[in-house]
Amino acid sequence: MKPLNFGLVIIVVFALISLPKTIVPVDATVPAKLVPTADAYVDSSNPESNFGISDYLYATFRDYNYTDDVRTNSYLMFNLGSFSSGEVASASLRLYAWHVTSPTPHVGVHQCSNTTWNENTIDWLDAPSFSPLAIDSVAVPIQDQWYSWNVTEPVNSAAGSKLTLVLSVEDINEHYDAYFYSRDGWYSPELMVELKDVTPPTFANFHQSTAYVKSNSTFYLSVDIYDPSGISDAQALFFDGQSNDGGNVSLIGTGENGTYSAYTHFGPAATEDTYTIKIHAVDGEGNSGLSDTLGAITLDNTPPNITGVNQNPSQNAVSVEDHVEINATVVDTTSGIGQVVLSYTVNETAHFKINMTNLQGSIFNATIPTLPYGTNVTYVIVAVDNANNTRTTQEMGLSYEYTVVPEITPFLILPLFMILILLSVILHKALAFSREPRQSERSYSEKESNHDS
Ligand SMILES: [Ca+2]
Ligand SMILES: [Ca+2]
Ligand SMILES: [Ca+2]
C-alpha cells in the first residue's frame, strides 16, 4: 500500500459505540454438502447380486479357513460438476455407522477411476477395480454415529466431473463388519466440500460525513465490507483524476464482516481539488479488491470573495422612513456559498445578524429596518463557503456606515412654500410702507410749500 500523501492521517480509532454497525454474518466454515448420485455394495459371496436399492452400505471382511474369505465393498458416486479444478479447499466423506463388530474395523476410502457403473446393475463380478492404497482410513469402533474421511485430493482432482469412492475394510485375518446407511437409508452419506476463497471482498453502504472540507478539519468515512474469509486490511483511497494523489487512510474494523471506518483529515499541504474515493480491501486469504468510486470529497481552503457591496438609499440619504437594502456579490468557485450574513451594529452597542438571501446569480441581499433620526449604523458582510472557510468585509479592509437623517416629505413642501410666500409678501409690504411718507405729512408739507409761495 502506498504511503500517506499530504499528511492524510488517521487520527481517531474506531468509535465502536457511536457508529451504526451493519454486521452481516457470513460463516466461512459452512461447506457445500453433496449426497451420492449412486451407491451400492457388492458381495463376494453373492457375486452376481446387485444391492443398489439397499438401505445399507457394507464394508466387511470375514476370514475363513476352509472356504473363501468373504468381502463386501461399497461404491459411491458423486457429481462434482459444479466445482472447478483447484477450487476445493477441503472435502470429507461422512457416513453414519449403524452397526459395527469387534475387533474394530478400519475402513479405507479408495479412489476408482470408473464413473460409468450403474447402481442398479453393479455386482461383485463386474464391479470396477479401485486403487489398492486407501486415500484415508478410519477406525470405526462404535455404531450409531458419524465417521469422516478426508477426500480433499480426489475431490479436487475430479472437480468438474464425477467421482467414485469405494469403501473397503483394511484389516484381514479376523471378522470385521462396518455397516453404514446408504442414500436410501436413514442418514444418507454426505460429501462436505469447502471451497477456497478466490474472490475479493465486496462493499456496501459507503458513508462520508461531508462532501466539502478544509485542511485539518476532521471528516468521517465508513463502509461495510464483506468476505467469507474475513478482512485483513481496508483502506480508503483518494484519487485526483486517475492517480491516488490524495493519499490513503486505513479503515478500522473488527476483521470480520461489518463496518470499517476512520476519522481523518487533509494536511495543510494537500492540493485543493475534488478527490474521488474508492475502497481497497484484502480478505483473509490475500484476495484484494478495489471498489468502484463510492464517493467524492472537495478540499477547499479558499474563503469566498465579496465584491460590489452597495446600499440603497446611499450612505448620506437614509432617512427615518427608509429601509436600507444592501446587496453584495459573493462567489466561491471551489465548494460554493454556504451562508452569507449581514452583521450590523446600531449606535456601537446593539448587534444584529440577518441572513442575506440569494437574489439571483451571485448577488445576495438583506434589508436593515427603519431606525430613528440620528442613529448610527455600521455593518459587515460575512460569507462562509461549504467547506466552512469564512471571509468578512472587515478583514478585507472595507467598512460601511451611515447615519439616519430627518425626513422632508412631499405633504410638508406645499404648506412650507405657502408660508414662505406669505412671509415674503408681508415683508415686501412692510418694507414698502416704511419708505412712503404718510398722507397727512404730505398734505402738511404741500400746504407749507404753497404757503411759502
Ligand atoms: Ca443405493
Ligand atoms: Ca474472499
Ligand atoms: Ca472556497
Same domain, 155 and 220: no
| Domain final position from 255, 270, 299 | 299
Cis peptide before 154 (omega within 30 of 0): no
Interval 83-109: pLDDT, tens: 988 788 899 999 999 999 999 999 999
Kindly state whether residue 110 falls inside one of the protein's structural domains. yes
User: What is the 290 CA–ligand 2 centroid distance (Å)?
Assistant: 13
pTM, full prediction: 0.63
- Its domain, for residue 206, covers 9-27+199-299
Kindly state whether residue 1 falls inside one of the protein's structural domains. no
Which ligand is in closest contact with the Cα of 55?
1
Rounded Cα gap, residues 65 and 127, in angstroms: 25
Same domain, 176 and 203: no
Which ligand is in closest contact with the Cα of 283?
2
Kindly state whether residue 335 falls inside one of the protein's structural domains. yes
Candidates 262, 153, 141; CA nearest to 208 is 262
Are 404 and 372 in contact by the 8 Å Cβ rule? The answer is yes
Question: Is the pLDDT at 274 greater than 50, yes or no?
Answer: yes
Rounded Cα gap, residues 112 and 249, in angstroms: 54
Kindly state whether residue 48 falls inside one of the protein's structural domains. yes
Same domain, 165 and 37: yes
396 contacts: CB under 8 Å, gap ≥ 6: 306
Same domain, 62 and 152: yes
Q: What is the pLDDT of residue 26?
A: 43
Q: Which of 128-137, 181-190, 240-249 has the lowest mean pLDDT?
A: 240-249
Same domain, 222 and 348: no
Rounded Cα gap, residues 14 and 12, in angstroms: 7
Higher pLDDT, 10 or 215: 215
3-state secondary structure of 239: strand
User: What is the 181 CA–ligand 1 centroid distance (Å)?
Assistant: 9
Rounded Cα gap, residues 18 and 41, in angstroms: 62
Q: What is the pLDDT of residue 449?
A: 46
Reported confidence tier of residue 437, pLDDT bands at 50, 70, 90 = low
Same domain, 346 and 373: yes
Question: Mean pLDDT over residues 154-169, rounded?
Answer: 96
Same domain, 269 and 344: no
Which ligand is in closest contact with the Cα of 180?
1
Higher pLDDT, 347 or 228: 347
Q: How many structural domains compose the chain? A: 4
Which ligand is in closest contact with the Cα of 28?
2
| Domain final position from 299, 328, 351 | 299
Question: Is the pLDDT at 4 greater than 90, yes or no?
Answer: no
Same domain, 239 and 292: yes
Same domain, 236 and 264: yes
Reported confidence tier of residue 413, pLDDT bands at 50, 70, 90 = low
Q: What residues pair up with 93 in beta bridges, in sequence order?
A: 149, 191
Are 384 and 339 in contact by the 8 Å Cβ rule? The answer is yes
User: What is the 304 CA–ligand 3 centroid distance (Å)?
Assistant: 5
Question: Which residues place a Cβ less than 5 A from the ion ligand 1?
Answer: 39-40, 52, 182
Kindly state whether residue 293 falls inside one of the protein's structural domains. yes
Kindly state whether residue 4 falls inside one of the protein's structural domains. no
Same domain, 98 and 235: no
Q: Domain containing 114 — which CATH number?
A: 2.60.120
Q: Domain containing 314 — which CATH number?
A: 2.60.40.10
Q: Which of 48-52, 66-70, 178-182 has the lowest mean pLDDT?
A: 66-70
Which ligand is in closest contact with the Cα of 74?
1
HEC letters along 306-344: EEEEEEECCCCCCECCCCEEEEEEEECCCCCEEEEEEEE
Q: What is the pLDDT of residue 443?
A: 45
Question: Which residues place a Cβ less than 5 A from the ion ligand 2?
Answer: 197, 199, 227, 229, 283, 287
411 contacts: CB under 8 Å, gap ≥ 6: none
Kindly state whether residue 2 falls inside one of the protein's structural domains. no
Question: Which residues place a Cβ less than 5 A from the ion ligand 3?
Answer: 300, 302, 332, 334-335, 385, 389
347 contacts: CB under 8 Å, gap ≥ 6: 375, 376
Strands (E), 386-443: 390-392, 400-403
Question: Is the pLDDT at 411 greater than 60, yes or no?
Answer: no
Which ligand is in closest contact with the Cα of 121?
1
User: What is the 39 CA–ligand 1 centroid distance (Å)?
Assistant: 4
Reported confidence tier of residue 243, pLDDT bands at 50, 70, 90 = confident
User: What is the 211 CA–ligand 3 centroid distance (Å)?
Assistant: 13
Q: What is the pLDDT of residue 453?
A: 38
Higher pLDDT, 451 or 320: 320
Interval 366-388: pLDDT, tens: 999 999 999 999 999 999 999 99
Question: Is the pLDDT at 9 greater than 60, yes or no?
Answer: no
Same domain, 39 and 16: no
Query: What is the H or E stretch that residue 230 is in?
Result: none
Question: Is the pLDDT at 119 greater than 70, yes or no?
Answer: yes
Residue 362, φ and ψ in degrees, nearest 5: -105, 10
User: What is the 336 CA–ligand 3 centroid distance (Å)?
Assistant: 7
Q: What is the pLDDT of residue 389?
A: 98
| Domain final position from 172, 195, 218 | 195
Cell of 371: 431606525
Question: Mean pLDDT over residues 109-129, rounded?
Answer: 98
Reported confidence tier of residue 418, pLDDT bands at 50, 70, 90 = confident
Which ligand is in closest contact with the Cα of 36?
1
> In the chain, what percentage of residues exceed pLDDT 90?
76
Q: What is the pLDDT of residue 416?
A: 67
Same domain, 339 and 221: no
What is the rounded average pLDDT for all residues in the chain? Answer: 88
Which ligand is in closest contact with the Cα of 200?
2
